[in-house]
A and B are shown apart, each in its own frame.
Chain A
Amino acid sequence: MAQKPFENDRENLKAKKFMMWLFLVSSFIYFAGLTSGFIVYTAEDPSRGINTILPDVFKYSTGVIILSSLTMHLAYLAGKKLQFRMQNLYLLITAVLGLFFFVFQFQGWGLLFNRGVVFSGNPNASQSFIYVFIASHLLHIAVGMILLLRAVRLKFSRIDPVRNTFRLEITSIFWHFIDILWIYLYVFLLLNQ
């Protein structure tokens, strides 16, 4: 029978993966909206701007998130080779690195706050923007961690390899995106500090 099996029509994993890419586009537009808001706002008055040097702790968080992209990729490769134990291990390492990222970002906020670069009640909203960028990005990291944990497999006997790889792909696309997103935001902030 030349006919495509019905189930395949409905599964259409490719189309679902494409939706993830589209989501990344819309998410990136959100950040583009914020950063261009920053530019428009800051350009209006010379007294506005970040006016401070970003704490070094953001360098650590950048390192951590790049490293986590690497472990995410290793998890994906392991999953493709059906090494589910390794896959779980790498996923968990990625999630732990994600946690470290959270910690570093909060530390960065603390340092900024102590310098008087505060979020609320700040007449220079360019500085408040730093918090909005990071908070919005951390929200994405939180979603990414949920995806990571969902990709962890507990019962190896019941794994459908196609589905498993699909889930890993979705997770890794998203995780690499938020990695690149952070680099974009960090470079954007560095260029404006």
Chain B
Amino acid sequence: MASTAIQHTLEHSGHSHDDHGHHHETFLTKYVFSQDHKMIAKQFLITGIIMAVIGMLLSILFRIQLGWPDQSFPLLETFLGKWAEGGRIKPDFYLALVTIHGTIMVFFVLTAGLSGTFSNLLIPLQLGARDMASPFVNMLSFWFFFTACVIMMASFFVESGPASAGWTIYPPLSALPQAISGSAAGMTLWLISMVFFIASSLMGALNYISTVLNMRTKGMDMWKMPLTIWAFFLTAILGVLSFPVLVSGVVLLIFDRSFGTSFYLSELVVQGQVLPQQGGSPILFQHLFWFLGHPEVYIVIMPAMGIASEVMATNSRKPIFGYHAMVYSLIGISVLSFIVWGHHMFVTGMNPFLGGVFMITTLIIAVPSAVKTFNWLATIWRGNIRFTPAMLFAIGLVSFFISGGLTGIFLGNAALDIPLHDSYFVVAHFHLVMGSAAICGMLCGVYHWFPKMFGRMMDEKLGYLHFWFTFIGAYLVFFPMHFMGLDGVPRRYYAFTEFEFMKEWLTVNTFVSWAAIIAAIGQIAFLWNFFHSIFYGKKAVQNPWESSTLEWTTPVEHLHGNWPGEIPTVYRWPYDYSKPGHTTDFIPQTTPFSQTMSSNLPHDFEGNPEAERIQIEWQKKQQAEAEQGV
């Protein structure tokens, strides 16, 4: 009786709110304009993967230029036409490649691809909600993102080429079409694309925050949320607080470019011509940009951290070490991220005293970061580790985060930053700590939740192959760059052959380019594994990793509304792994304490005297029985 009622309401759940008639899901509503958070997550993931491949190919193109600056590759001309006349990439196009590579990787892959995929997938599933607060806005979020991707890629097809002022688009270079060919139509498209992108991330973030705060299932108080959810939640808050500032910076830039204002432009002479704009302040843009830009790097890394925490606890078969410390360090990073943006601007003529303030706030971030690192290490310490591909990538994240984070302490120092600024040292730093670490987190998430998304398993052996290619490849690519940077080699330079002191780095560049190409080839293992397993992978069981969180209590077959019937109630925190006295090495969050009498600990009851009394009585009874038995 009850089950038919549930079945009936379930059928209703597929409908939008305003129509009352019955209709079946069509291809369009199921796969394209879907309002189901699981499908939207997959859309974000696959779009993100495609953008990542594009971003990676762009990097290979400029690595070819850097590795073999004097060699001609006729094939390049075949594909790129006038951008690679004579088989050599042109300087303008080189800058465009660097710019679009950075934009795609930071925003489209590691912001939308990462948060968009896993926040959408996991927030409702791990919190026990039917869907997001507003599925419609969620759908809109994806399609704005998709539009942004299309516009960004379209800029490759305008005559003057894509934006090429760097992903930070500092004016005046980005504001004046005559300054560089990429600042013409390409820059306009970049700005339009970013407006769509920001709208998309804001819509996503509003949904994530509202869902986390309002739609948790019974028993799921904030301190019973998995660390993934904490990370996504705080990431979304960062997005809401920082992206609008980028909008204001971009709006002023648009006015400067197209409406003759001079917010950022002043006393400029371009190609012998004095420009009319007077009185602007280019530093103003940097303030507005980095007020977003710095939280943005935490928007990139925090979801990856959350994913790694969850995967490491599951695959170490141990509770996460210092759950509260993990949450508070995420909160600490979030708060601090708003008061450190000046460390990107030490060399803009900033007041040295102000530089000192920004230096201190920056170095304080080392504290929560170290807390997280040590907690991860303590989590796997003497754990019963299962080296799944996801686990390897989680460990990879920790490794990259440590080796990249250490150089952050150098760069955060206002005095050391003077020689290191805009050198390859910076490139090495952020590619390790933000690029490689976050992409490891993302891949870790893909391997771990693939069975949840597609109901099938990915191939483990290909996963291992992929991991080692990626892990070793990334280190071989980025580690040598530290030494180049210390020697004073500047970033974004087209060729190293023009400067005497840089020539000796040419061989290193060739090496780095080879490493990048081999690492890129290694990604084929992932792409094949991913797309092949969607259709032909081994069928997944309901809880393949024996994980205790809520998403693994849903059926393998997806249904709109996630759980058939009632949403499960949560009784315990998400990390009850290898609890002494219990028969299995994990206890799902949905198991009440009354079913695990043999493993309950006094602090499990949060000071509930009745529960404690029952537990003590049970223990006395057990003891008495044991004595009788003897």
**A26 — which chain B residues lie within 8 A by C-beta?**
202, 205-206, 240-241, 243-244
Neighbouring A residues of B213 by C-beta, 8 Å: 15, 18
Could you show 5 A-B contacts with beta carbons less than 8 Å apart? A6-B12, A41-B281, A121-B262, A123-B278, A132-B255
A123 cross-chain contacts in B, Cβ below 8 A: 262, 277-279
Q: Are B261 and A128 touching (Cβ within 8 A)? A: yes
Interfacial chain A residues near B202, Cβ < 8 Å: 23, 26
A6 and B13 contact, Cβ closer than 8 Å, known pairs A12-B133, A44-B281: yes
Contacting residues, chain A, for B561 (C-beta < 8 A) = 6, 9-10
Cβ A14 vs Cβ B279 within 8 A: no
For A53, the chain B residues whose CB sits under 8 A away are none
B214 within 8 A of A: yes
Of all chain B residues, the one with the shortest Cβ separation from A14 is B214
Please report which residues of chain B, range 1-45, place their CB below 8 angstroms from some CB of chain A when the two chains form the complex: 2, 5-6, 9-10, 12-13, 17
Q: 1/0 per position for A114-151, CB-CB distance to B under 8 A?
A: 00000111111100110010001000000000000000
Q: CB-CB < 8 A to B207: which residues of A?
A: 19
User: Which residues does chain A contribute within 8 Å of B252, judged by CB atoms?
Assistant: 34, 37, 132
Contact partners of B566 in chain A: CB under 8 A:
3
- Number of B interface residues at 8 Å Cβ cutoff, please give it: 55
Contact A22 B209 (CB under 8 A): yes
B206 touches A15 (CB 8 A): no
Name the A residues within 8 Å of B157 (CB-CB): none
A116 to B213, CA, bound (A): 50
- Residues of B near A125 (CB, < 8 A) are 261-263, 279-281
Given A15-B133, A26-B243: A37 in contact with B248 (beta carbons within 8 A): yes
Does A1 make an interface contact (CB < 8 A)? Answer: yes
- Residue A7 CB within 8 A of the other chain: yes
- The docked-state distance in angstroms from the alpha carbon of A45 to that of B267 is 15
Residue-wise interface mask of B (131-172) relative to A, using a CB-CB cutoff of 8 A (1 in contact, 0 not)? 101100100000000000000000000000000000000000
Q: Which of A's residues lie within 8 Å of B, judged by CB?
A: 1, 3, 5-7, 9-12, 14-16, 18-19, 22-23, 25-27, 29-34, 37, 40-41, 44-45, 48, 119-125, 128-129, 132, 136
Instruction: Tell me the smallest distance from the CB of A173 to a CB of chain B, in Å.
Output: 14
Task: State which residues 418-459 of B face A: CB under 8 Å.
Answer: none
Looking at B6, B10, B276, B279, the one whose CB has the most chain A CB atoms below 10 A away is: B279
Give the interface centre of B12, B207, B255, B276 by most chain A CB atoms within 10 Å: B255
- Nearest A residue to B266, CB-CB: A123
B260 within 8 A of A: yes
Task: Closest B residue to A125 by CB, please name it.
Answer: B263
Could you tell me if B241 and A29 are in contact, using CB atoms closer than 8 angstroms? yes
Beyond contacts A37-B284, A40-B281: 10 other A-B pairs, Cβ-Cβ < 8 A, are A10-B130, A10-B561, A15-B134, A15-B210, A19-B207, A25-B240, A26-B202, A26-B244, A30-B244, A41-B284
Nearest CB of chain B from residue A176's CB, rounded to whole Å: 19
* CB nearest to B247 among chain A residues: A30
For A22, the chain B residues whose CB sits under 8 A away are 205-206, 209-210, 240
A121 close to B276 (CB less than 8 A)? yes
1/0 per residue, CB under 8 A from A, across B238-262: the answer is 0011111101110110010001111
Interchain CA distance A181-B255 in the complex, whole Å:
22
Q: Out of A5, A14, A15, A33, which one reaches B291, CB within 8 Å?
A: A33
Distance in Å: Cβ of B382 to nearest Cβ of chain A: 42
Which B residues lie within 8 Å of A33 (CB)? 244-245, 247-249, 288, 291
In the bound complex, CA of A5 to CA of B2 (Å): 12
| Chain B interface mostly | helix
Report whether A12 and B255 are in contact in the complex, using a CB–CB cutoff of 8 Å.
Answer: no
Q: Do the beta carbons of B261 and A122 come within 8 Å of each other? A: yes
Bound together, the chains give a CA A120 to CA B276 distance in angstroms of 11
B17, B137, B243, B279: the one within 8 Å of A19 (CB): B137
Closest approach, in angstroms, between the C-beta of B170 and any C-beta of chain A?
A: 15
CA distance A6 to B2 in the complex (A): 13
Interchain CA distance A16-B214 in the complex, whole Å: 9
Residue contact B261 to A16, C-beta cutoff 8 Å? no
Residues in chain B near residue A16, CB distance under 8 A? 133-134, 210
A7 to B20, CA, bound (A): 12
| A115, chain B: closest CB distance, angstroms | 17
CA A98 to CA B277, docked complex, whole Å: 35
Least Cβ–Cβ distance between B354 and chain A, in angstroms: 12
B137: A residues at CB distance < 8 A: 19
Contact indicator B134/A132 (Cβ below 8 Å): no
Known contacts A37-B252, A119-B259; is-contact A19 B240 (Cβ 8 Å): no
In the bound complex, CA of A128 to CA of B265 (Å): 13
Contact present for B279 and A29 (CB under 8 Å): no
Q: Are B133 and A18 in contact (CB under 8 A)?
A: yes
For B209, the closest partner residue in chain A by CB is A22
Query: Taking CB as reference atom, which chain B residue is nearest A2?
Result: B566
Which residues of B286-330 have CB atoms within 8 Å of chain A's CB atoms? 287-288, 291
Interface-central residue, A12, A25, A40, A121, by most chain B CB under 10 Å: A12
- Chain A residues positioned under 8 Å from B180 (CB to CB): none
Asked if B366 is at the interface (CB within 8 A of a chain A CB), the reply is no
Q: Does B211 contact A (CB under 8 A)?
A: yes
Residues from chain B with a CB closer than 8 A to the CB of A120 are 255, 259-261
Docked Cα-Cα span, A11 to B255, in Å, equals 41
**B residues within 8 A CB of A40?**
281, 284, 287
Do residues A11 and B17 form an inter-chain contact, with CB atoms below 8 A? yes
A37-B281 Cα distance, complex, nearest whole Å = 10
